[in-house]
Amino acid sequence: MELTAPTAMSFLDSVGRNSSQTRHTYQIGLFHFQKLLETKGHTLDTIIEPLLKNEISVYTTINDFVTYLIDSLRLSNSSIAAYVAAVRSYLQFYDIDIVIKTFKRKVKMPTILEEEEESIDENDIRRILSFCNSRRLKVYLLTLATGGFRALEACAIRNCDVDFTTNPTKVHVRKEYAKTKKARDVFISDEASKAIQDWIAFKYRHRKYTPTPTKSDEDLVFTTRVITPASPQQMYSKLREDFTRVLAQAGLEKRKEGILRRTITLHSFRRFVKTVLSNEVGQDYSEWFLGHKKSSYYTNKKSERAELYITKCMKHLTFLNYDFIKSEGKTIAADLSEKDKEIEQLKAQQAKMAK
């Protein structure tokens, strides 16, 4: 979706200074707006002057854009809202006034309807991983399913961001790629840690017929192009395509009603981690872990947070290490047996007291 209009490029460069993701979203919105303008004999450049002179109504233009998005593209209402916001911002960037009250009266936006997201559990994740033939994608999904990363955050992980010397393994999320623009450290399971180490060893293995790549701390973990590395955004697009194919093979390609978006996405792994952490430790812990706004009174020490992840969460975030799962099952069985003994002892004591 290339844009060549100078006005559009200046606007996108300005937007991109603070957020590359916002730039990408706005670029898609302007691309669709350009398609509509072409049907009216205009471009992103030429539409500015008649709008400034009120020769064309800005509200009618935006309303036509909404109609175009609804009739021509099968988009979710939230996507339509995002693309309309991009066009509004673009026009206001060039001093075209848009009065909010008038906009709401003349441009009827489709209502964003809330619906509960499709949940996934440990068995769903194991099924997805079992159909995953891509070595890189499998490691990437394990990382998402144990660290609760946003998809792009995981794509931006460098070799130097992973600390294998800590227990559990700690991964640094860079502020440039965090949605909140705030860096944080995240734990991953031993299984995911081992998978990442194996992937890195494979990626930098000795080649017999081609040049052996040189390892650098700045290399992105999940890139396969070490000589000419891809950007996190490029990797995300490729990994998402691969993930879509895996979902189809696993029979989990169901789509949301009326739109193209699937019920299971890469973000589903983040929701899964959030659920596990909330259930096993508590909401404050899960909010801290995922990088959400947390209570200022939640101030556990780093060592305590790590211990909570190891003892309460890791067993629910291990999917393919069956020896670990089996040992955890034995531990749980032993704990239950010990509890049964304690209950029997209490019953015996109560019986004696009753006599």
Spacing of C-alpha 218 from chain mean position: 22
What pLDDT is recorded for position 147? 95
244 or 116, greater pLDDT: 244
CA-CA distance, 214 to 206, in Å (whole number)? 10
User: What string of DSSP letters covers 228-254?
Assistant: SPPPHHHHHHHHHHHHHHHHHHHT---
The answer to which of 86-95, 108-117, 220-229, 254-263 has the lowest mean pLDDT is 254-263
The reported pLDDT for the residue numbered 115 is: 67
Task: Dump pLDDT digits (tens) for 262-316.
Answer: 788 999 999 999 999 999 999 999 999 999 887 788 888 999 999 999 999 999 9
pLDDT band at 330 (very low <50, low <70, confident <90, very high): very low
Rounded distance, CA 104 to CA 102, Å?
5
Q: Which 3 state secondary structure label does DSSP give 144?
A: helix
Which pair of tokens denotes residue 197?
Answer: 């180490």
Q: What is the overall mean pLDDT for the chain?
A: 88
User: Whole-angstrom Cα distance, residue 102 to residue 108?
Assistant: 11
Q: What is the pLDDT of residues 207-247, one digit of tens each?
A: 888 888 888 999 999 988 766 677 888 899 999 999 999 99
Residue 46 has pLDDT above 70, yes or no: yes
Give pTM, 2 decimals.
0.75
